[in-house]
Amino acid sequence: MRVAITLEQCWHRVPGGTATAALGCVEALGRLQEPPEMVGISAWHRNLPEEPFEPGIEVAGLRLPRVGLYWSWHEMRRPSVERVAGPVSAIHATGMAVPPRSAPLAVTVNDLAFLRHPDHFTPRGLRFFARSLELTRNDADIVVCPSQHTADDCLRVGIDADRVRLVPYWSDDRLVLPDEADEVRQRFGLADQFVLWVGTAEPRKNLAGLLEAWQLLGRKGQQLVLVGPDGWKSNLGGALAPSDQSIRLLWFVAEADKRALMQAAAAVCYPSLTEGFGLPVLEAMVQGTPVVTSVAGATAEVAGSTGVLVDPTNPQEIADALTGLLNAPDDAARLGKQGRERALAEFTWQRTAEGLMEIYRELAGL
């Protein structure tokens, strides 16, 4: 079985969670005893994307730049992926750029945040996502969702339930050693005890609410550490007072450093307004670090009873949750241990890979 998998998001200025998730799916499939033959599909590029977003499979580039390719796919419904990939049994669009259905088509819908919070997106982004949703509803044989939250949103916008499949993501289960985590903490010059946020700075991540919660805490000798690239409709660097040493902005860090920081953190706080999955929550759980996250949306699904769930629109509630973890290290350690156990039991590469293989077999009529 040969499957074409879109991976253009790996070349985006901010690849973000959709690229990480897509590459995780490719890696999971590659671990199977009998993996499918996979070919990545992208626009035309002279170079591979930077680490950690370099695909681990062959990538065939269509001879159009990204903007032209996305427009042509969405408005002209060409070119087909087979033009560069050759014959395929199935196509898997792992993001919201939907190629023409020249073979049985699966589309991953990570989230429908643009419908819940349209003010968080640019007019161009809203048009793109609206067209993507229209094509998914009309052309996709199967719609893949990483969470029940996203699946429910798909049903609400008219996608038939018999086309929706739930395939959660996974995260590498390697536990960073304490000495390695402490070395990274010291290298970045961080306090012994810190709260970590990881993600792309954009409105739905609710960094304003997190920053307000941190100010309410008024902690001395502890830090809030922010890791990740600047996204859109964000002025994260300008929003921080240079004199406030209790907040550290590290921007983008290497993948290994990110995992070490998660292991070193007293807690990871991820109070997004909405998420389709929330990989940072799962990554923190793998490291045995307690998580504060939103009671609404997919992150609550991921954390389950092992997370401290809060109303993301209530900074005082976020502050109180963090206070509870920082003041009760034994309780925090218990939640962290339970979180790791849940991550290793529920969010495995096998579950992701087998779920996708079942979809590909269905598309191919096998």
Residue 202 pLDDT: 87
Give me the CATH code for the 2-170+348-364 domain, please. 3.40.50.2000
What is the full DSSP assignment across 19-85? HHHHHHHHHHHHTSSSPPEEEEEE---SSPPPTT---SS-EEEPSS-HHHHHHIIIII----THHHH
Same fold, 2-170+348-364 and 178-346: yes
Residue 51 pLDDT: 86
Q: Hey, how many other C-beta atoms are within 10 angstroms of the C-beta on 118?
A: 13
Give the domain ranges of the chain. Answer: 2-170+348-364, 178-346
Residue 296 pLDDT: 85
Torsion sign over Cα 228, 229, 231, 234: positive
- 60: Cβ contacts below 8 Å, ≥ 6 apart: 4, 39, 40, 41, 42, 81, 84, 85
Residue 230 pLDDT: 79
β-bridge mates for residue 64, sequence order: none
Q: To which CATH superfamily is domain 178-346 assigned? A: Glycogen Phosphorylase B; (3.40.50.2000)
SS3 3: strand
Alpha-carbon span 88 to 240, nearest angstrom: 50
The structure's pTM equals: 0.94
Strand order in the sheet with 247-251: 247-251, 222-227, 193-198, 267-270, 291-294, 308-310
**What angle separates helix 329-346 from helix 315-327, to the nearest 10 degrees?**
100
> pLDDT means per 10 residues in the chain (366 residues)?
98 91 98 98 94 94 97 98 97 97 98 95 95 98 98 98 98 96 96 95 92 90 91 57 76 94 98 96 98 95 97 97 96 98 98 98 94
- 279: Cβ contacts below 8 Å, ≥ 6 apart: 17, 20, 21, 169, 171
Residue 234 pLDDT: 59
Residue 321 pLDDT: 97
β-bridge mates for residue 5, sequence order: 40, 92
